[in-house]
Amino acid sequence: SKFESLLDRVAGSDAPDMADILALLNASGAQTQALYRRADDIRRARMGDGILLRAIVEFSSRCSRDCAYCGLRKAHRQLKRYRMNTAEILASVLEAASSGIKTVVLQSGEDDTLDPFWLADVIRAIKSGTQMAVTLSVGEKPQEVYALWRGAGADRYLLKIETTNPSLYRRLHPDMDFDRRLECLRVLRELGYQTGSGSIVGLPGQTAEDLTQDILFFKRCDFDMIGIGPFIAHPDTPLGLEGDGDIQAVLKVLAVTRIVVNNAHMPATTAVGSLEEDHRLAALKSGANVLMPNFTPQPYRQAYEIYPHKRCLTETSGACVPCMETMASAIGRCVNYSRGDSLKIKV
């Protein structure tokens, strides 16, 4: 059919046409199912049926930025702020390691008061006590700081571009700079981090053309990991009265990204699991190959409220792994406990 040949053309191109991507994002009815099926086929052919697990430890809710969508934004004065100490972080990482997980993501707000040498010590302690790959997700930092952490043993870094539309980016991040964010991503790659980026789908004012440009950006930058999730309105932010992102739009962006970028790791994000229903299984059947079990201990976990109704908020730290085993078998897949390094050839 015409739609299948469109899928063939996009899947086979190193620089797909903007109009073709837009046409895929506009899929409706039976086309949508064909789109998801193609993404699922490419995921299976390139990454297999094993779902990779990345433990996430949300070690600090302190943030100096004011992203319009995020519950951790500086202006959210009522939020309880915490920073876990070294022993608490190591205990959480060891708990993840003892359940067989080989990657940990250390995530926090973008905290200007964070001591880079302290975090370097934490990284070194994890690397000397475990075999785990360490991924950082702590925002924009000077090149020297990224280099310090890389030298301490950090393997990977996640920094979402959020949106590639510069004017939308500016509206959502009044105190930030789009070009600086691009520069951070460039520096991270140059330092040899396996680098992840990603986007939010359904931001107020975002168009299908914007989403198309996001996908072409992911392709051009050749990221090792790409995280895509819906916008979820947080009542205590300037966007509190906006509608949440539409799950079909998210799944389409995910599927088209998988078709265009066939060799990046892509999580079924917590945000995809945190709309009215949990859509992570749908994401895993539309191109995603990663799940992120939450190992943040209570009471901190409940304080890390990026958006409302976050999944796994009240569970204990060990609960996600058996839950994810069940999710995997529900769709005839399995959990893959390997490190899940980048599939791209590094020279």
Which residue, 294 or 342, has its beta carbon nearer to ligand FES?
A: 294
312 binds, among ligand FES, ligand SAM, ligand SF4, none (CB under 5 to 8 A by kind): ligand FES
β 290-291/334-336 pair status = unpaired
Per CB under 6 A, which of residues 47..86 are in contact with ligand SAM? 69-70, 72
Contact with ligand SF4 (CB under 6 A): which of 38, 43, 54, 73? 73
- Distance (Å, whole) CA 239 – CA 69: 6
Q: Binding residue for ligand FES (CB under 6 A) from 320, 333, 335, 342? A: 320
- From the list 345, 347, 321, the residue with the least C-alpha distance to 334 is 321
Chain position carrying tokens 């680098």: 195
Where do runs of H (alpha helix) occur along the chain? 2-11, 18-25, 30-47, 86-98, 116-129, 143-151, 166-172, 178-190, 208-221, 247-260, 280-284, 300-303, 320-330
The CA distance from 225 to 261, in Å, is 10
DSSP letter at 243 equals P
Q: Cβ 311 to ligand FES, closest distance in Å?
A: 6
Which residues within the stretch 235-294 sit at the binding site for ligand FES (CB under 6 A)? 294
Buried b (16+ CB within 10 A) or exposed e, 234-270: beebbbeebebbebebbbbbbbbbbbbbbebbbbbbb
- The piece of 11-19, 48-56, 231-239, 249-257 that touches ligand SAM (CB under 6 A) is 231-239
Asked if 324 touches ligand FES (CB under 6 A), the answer is yes
Among 32, 60, 107, 194, binds ligand SAM (CB under 6 A): 107
Q: Which of residues 138-197 bind ligand SF4 (CB under 6 A)?
A: 139
Q: Give the residue closest to ligand SAM by C-beta.
A: 70
Among ligand FES, ligand SF4, ligand SAM, none, residue 234 binds (CB under 5-8 Å by kind): ligand SAM
70 touches ligand SF4 (CB under 6 A): yes
Distance CA 198, CA 206 (A): 15
The smaller minimum CB distance to ligand SAM, of residues 137 and 336, is found at: 137
Contact of residue 323 among ligand SF4, ligand SAM, ligand FES, none (CB under 5-8 Å per partner type): ligand FES
Question: In this structure, what token pair is assigned to residue 246?
Answer: 């539409």
Q: Does 287 bind ligand SAM (CB under 6 A)?
A: no
Judged by CB under 6 A, which of 267, 292, 307, 342 binds ligand SAM? 307
Integer Cα distance of 44 and 248 in angstroms: 21
Using the minimum distance from each CB to ligand FES, give the nearer residue, 72 or 312. Answer: 312
Cα 51 from Cα 47, distance rounded (Å)? 9
Q: What CA–CA distance (Å, rounded) separates 200 from 163?
A: 7
- Look at the block and give the residue holding tokens 């409302």: 308
What's the closest the beta carbon of residue 25 comes to ligand SF4, in angstroms?
25
Binding footprint of ligand FES, residue count (CB under 6 A): 7
Concatenate the DSSP letters of all residues of 266-328 into one string.
-B--TTTTSSSS--HHHHHTTT--EE--B-PPTTHHHH--SSTT-TTSSS-TTTHHHHHHHHH
Least separation in angstroms between residue 49's CB and ligand FES is: 19
Q: Could you tell me the smallest distance in angstroms from the CB atom of residue 290 to ligand FES?
A: 13
Region near ligand FES per CB under 6 A, out of 188-196, 236-244, 300-308, 317-325 = 317-325
Q: Choose between 159 and 291: whose C-beta lies nearer to ligand FES.
A: 291
Summarize as ranges the residues that interact with ligand SAM (CB under 6 A).
69-70, 72, 107, 109-110, 137, 139, 159-160, 162, 200, 229, 231-232, 234, 271, 306-307
